[in-house]
């Protein structure tokens, strides 16, 4: 069996998806992914800001 090649970006995306789920334990996910809680919450905040910016740009285009 070959080793699975995983990029940092795909790990970050997986973390954000799992941490965004209802009832997710962010501290446990941070331990599982080997990142600090500060880094984990930073990744979630970046994703949230990204969504807000996309929604704002779509809304401004529409109006």
Amino acid 63: pLDDT: 40
Q: What is the pLDDT of residues 2-37, one digit of tens each?
A: 666 778 888 888 999 999 999 999 999 999 999 999
Per-residue model confidence as pLDDT tens digits over 30-61? 999 999 999 999 999 988 777 655 555 554 44
The confidence score (pLDDT) of residue 5 equals: 76
Task: Tell me the three state secondary structure of residue 8.
Answer: helix
Q: Considering the domain boundaries, does residue 57 fall inside one?
A: no
| 17 within some domain | yes
- Containing domain of residue 26, as a range? 11-48
Decide: helix, strand or coil at residue 56. helix
Number of domains in the chain: 1
């Amino acid at each position: 069996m070959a080793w699975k090649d995983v990029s940092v970006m795909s790990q970050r995306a997986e973390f954000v998806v799992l941490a965004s789920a209802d009832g997710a334990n962010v501290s446990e996910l941070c331990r599982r992914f080997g990142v600090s809680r500060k880094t984990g919450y930073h990744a979630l905040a970046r994703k949230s800001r990204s969504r807000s910016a996309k929604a704002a740009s779509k809304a401004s285009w529409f109006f």
